[in-house]
Amino acid sequence: MLKPFQLHEPTTVEEAISVLGKFGDDASVYAGGTELLLAMKEGLLSYDHLVNIKAIPGLDVVDYDESTGVLTVGATATHRALEYSPLVGEKFSLISDVEHRVANVRVRNVGTLGGNLCFAEPHSDPGVFLLLYDAEVELVGSGGARKQSVEDFILGPYETTREPDELLTTIEVPRLPEGSRHAYIKFGYHERPSLGLGLVARVDNGTLADIRIAVGSVGPKPVRVRNAEERLRGASLADLFGNTQSSALLDEAGRMMAEAAEPVTDLHGSAEYKEHLLRVFLEEALEEATRG
């Protein structure tokens, strides 16, 4: 049962920070509540104060700066807004592709990208695409503003570097290099994903000129797998698929992914199975992202 709490509705970021600072651990930011309220109803979390930041004007911005090539997503922009933004669809198609598959319509309508990041539920999609874009978050606290990569921001299950009096205000997403193609594979039969594998590739003259790989949902947090990227970069497409040598290369990259993602055994499946799936989906994603 949802226990009573006081709802604060600040209209500026400063006001929100001040309320958060005042109540400390007794307060939580409310940025959609799709996960927060579920956990509170179950009694897993309990707060006397919720700070609704959805009333802060402009915090739901989705804006692109042509000169820098950076997309700015405000903390309260919903999954649905990103899914349907023509701008995002045109210039950040990986985002709209993944957002279209996040949870269900009801969650996408009220859930926000910022809220999703700060809640840091391990079984979740958005962390993966943000890692592929090398996205950064901006946090504002009483001591001022700071920026941090999403990769460093998420520490583990339900844990980020955000201080209780800090508010995540924006997420900055630089464009992918020209000519990049992507694939995102989502697998599982539970309400939340069991595995998310995202891959960005740029093919030049029949070789894998650039590649980025990120994995989520199988372990404690989403991760970029840079050593696997390194290993695959420069490989020729002809050599990548369909022979024993390429299979050994993909096996090796798959092992690196498993090592980085640290799959855990849980209700979604055993660590062994998840490791197997990483290898299977690496190949599938590579094929999809490099297909002529």
Residues in touch with other proteins (CB under 8 A): 1, 3-4, 38, 42, 187, 189-192, 267, 269-270, 273, 276-277, 280
Nearest-10 crossing angle of helices 271-290, 244-261? 120
Nearer to other proteins by Cβ, of 34 and 169: the residue is 34
* Selection from 262, 119, 120, 273 nearest residue 189 by Cα: 273
What is the distance between the alpha carbons of residues 154 and 114, in angstroms, rounded to a whole number? Answer: 12
Q: Which is nearer to other proteins, 204 or 251 (CB)?
A: 251
Q: What is the smallest separation between the CB atom of 183 and other proteins, expressed in angstroms?
A: 16
Angle at 118 (CA atoms; ends 115, 122), nearest 5 degrees: 105
Please state, in angstroms and rounded to a whole number, the distance separating the CA atoms of residues 283 and 285.
Answer: 5
Query: Which residue in the block uniquely carries the two structure tokens 């042509």?
Result: 66
Shortest reach from residue 267's CB to other proteins, in Å: 5
Q: Which is nearer to other proteins, 138 or 283 (CB)?
A: 283
| Min separation Cβ 257 and other proteins, Å | 16
- Strand 62-65 with 70-74, pairing: antiparallel
Closest CA relative to residue 212, chosen from 195, 196, 232: 232
CA distance 170 to 72: 6
Q: Across-strand partners of 156?
A: 159
Least distance (Å) between residue 46 CB and other proteins: 12
C-beta closer to other proteins: residue 35 or 136 = 35
Backbone angles phi, psi at 132, to 5 degrees: -65, -30
In angstroms, what is the minimal distance from the CB of 3 to other proteins?
A: 7
Tell me whether residue 81 or residue 199 sits nearer to other proteins (CB atom). Answer: 199
**Least Å distance between CB 211 and other proteins?**
22
CA distance 275 to 254: 8
Nearer to other proteins, 144 or 189 (CB): 189
The least distance separating other proteins from the CB of residue 108, rounded to whole angstroms, comes to 16
User: DSSP labels for 112-141?
Assistant: BHHHHHHHT-SS-SHHHHHHHTT-EEEEEE
Q: Which is nearer to other proteins, 22 or 190 (CB)?
A: 190
